[in-house]
Amino acid sequence: MLIVEDEETLRESLKRLFVKNGFDADTAGSAEEAFELAKSGVYDVIITDIILPGMDGVEMISRLRDQVADQIFIVITAYASLESALKALRAGAYDYITKPVIHEEIKRVVENALRQKALQMENLLLKRQIRKRDPDGIIGESSAMNAIKSRVAKVAQARSSVLILGETGTGKELVARAIHFGSPRAESPFIPINCGAIPENLLESELFGHVRGAFTGAVSSKKGLFEIAGGGTVFLDEIGDMGLGLQSKLLRVLEDQEIRPVGGTHAIRADLRFITATNKDIESAAREGRFREDLFYRINVFTIKVPPLRERREDIRPLAGYFIERFSHELGKRVKGISADALALLEGYDWPGNVRELQNIIERSLLLADSDVIGVDCLPDNIRRSCSINDESVSGGCSIEDYTKQFILRFQHTHTEQSIADMLGITRKSLWEKRKRWGLSRSD
Single residue of 33, 141, 173, 283 touching Mg ion by CB under 5 A: 173
Chain residues 234-253 in contact with ligand ATP, contact rule CB under 6 A = 237
Cβ 224 to ligand ATP, closest distance in Å? 22
60 in Cβ contact with 29 (< 8 Å):
no
Single residue of 57, 171, 209, 348 touching ligand ATP by CB under 6 A: 171
The closest of 377, 319, 370 to 345, measured between CA atoms, is 377
The 207-246 site mask, x for binding Mg ion (CB under 5 A), equals ------------------------------x---------
Nearer Cβ to ligand ATP (97/175): 175
Cβ 313 to ligand ATP, closest distance in Å? 13
Single residue of 140, 209, 308, 348 touching ligand ATP by CB under 6 A: 140
Cβ 199 to ligand ATP, closest distance in Å? 19
348 in Cβ contact with 342 (< 8 Å):
no
90 in Cβ contact with 62 (< 8 Å):
no
The 90-129 site mask, x for binding ligand ATP (CB under 6 A), equals ----------------------------------------
How close are the terminal C-alpha atoms of the chain, in Å? 57
Taking the C-alpha atoms of residue 257 and residue 28, their distance in angstroms, rounded to an integer, is 58
> Judged by CB under 5 A, which stretch of 107-115, 171-179, 195-203, 312-320 contacts Mg ion?
171-179
Cβ 319 to ligand ATP, closest distance in Å? 6
| R_g of the chain computed on alpha carbons | 31
Residue 5's CB is within 10 A of a number of other CB atoms, namely: 23
Cβ 309 to ligand ATP, closest distance in Å? 9
Single residue of 3, 17, 166, 282 touching ligand ATP by CB under 6 A: 166
Chain residues 265-304 in contact with ligand ATP, contact rule CB under 6 A = 279
Nearer Cβ to Mg ion (156/175): 175
Contact between 139 and ligand ATP by CB under 6 A: the answer reads yes
Cβ 179 to ligand ATP, closest distance in Å? 12
Cα three-residue angle 349-413-401, rounded to 5 degrees: 35
Taking the C-alpha atoms of residue 227 and residue 415, their distance in angstroms, rounded to an integer, is 61
Taking the C-alpha atoms of residue 346 and residue 359, their distance in angstroms, rounded to an integer, is 11
**What would the DSSP string read from start to end of 257-295?**
-EE--BT-SS-EE---EEEEEESS-HHHHHHTTSS-HHH
3-state secondary structure of 246: helix
Cβ 172 to Mg ion, closest distance in Å? 5
Of Mg ion, ligand ATP, none, which one does residue 138 interact with (CB within 5 to 8 Å by kind)? ligand ATP
234 in Cβ contact with 253 (< 8 Å):
no
Contact between 149 and ligand ATP by CB under 6 A: the answer reads no
Cβ 71 to ligand ATP, closest distance in Å? 34
Nearer Cβ to ligand ATP (105/281): 281
The closest of 385, 383, 414, 386 to 374, measured between CA atoms, is 383
Taking the C-alpha atoms of residue 238 and residue 218, their distance in angstroms, rounded to an integer, is 27
Nearer Cβ to ligand ATP (57/308): 308
Cβ 96 to ligand ATP, closest distance in Å? 41
Residue number of the CB atom closest to ligand ATP: 171
Contact between 341 and Mg ion by CB under 5 A: the answer reads no
Nearer Cβ to Mg ion (237/444): 237
The 343-362 site mask, x for binding ligand ATP (CB under 6 A), equals ------------xx--x---
Nearer Cβ to ligand ATP (140/209): 140
232 in Cβ contact with 273 (< 8 Å):
yes
Taking the C-alpha atoms of residue 354 and residue 142, their distance in angstroms, rounded to an integer, is 15
Long-range contact set of residues 292-297: C-beta below 8 Å, sequence gap at least 24: 292/244, 292/247, 292/248, 292/251, 294/251, 295/247, 295/248, 295/250, 295/251, 295/254
**What would the DSSP string read from start to end of 364-414?**
HHHHH--SSEE-GGGS-HHHHHH--SS-SS--SS--HHHHHHHHHHHHTTT
Enumerate binding residues for ligand ATP (CB under 6 A).
138-140, 166, 168-174, 237, 279, 319, 355-356, 359
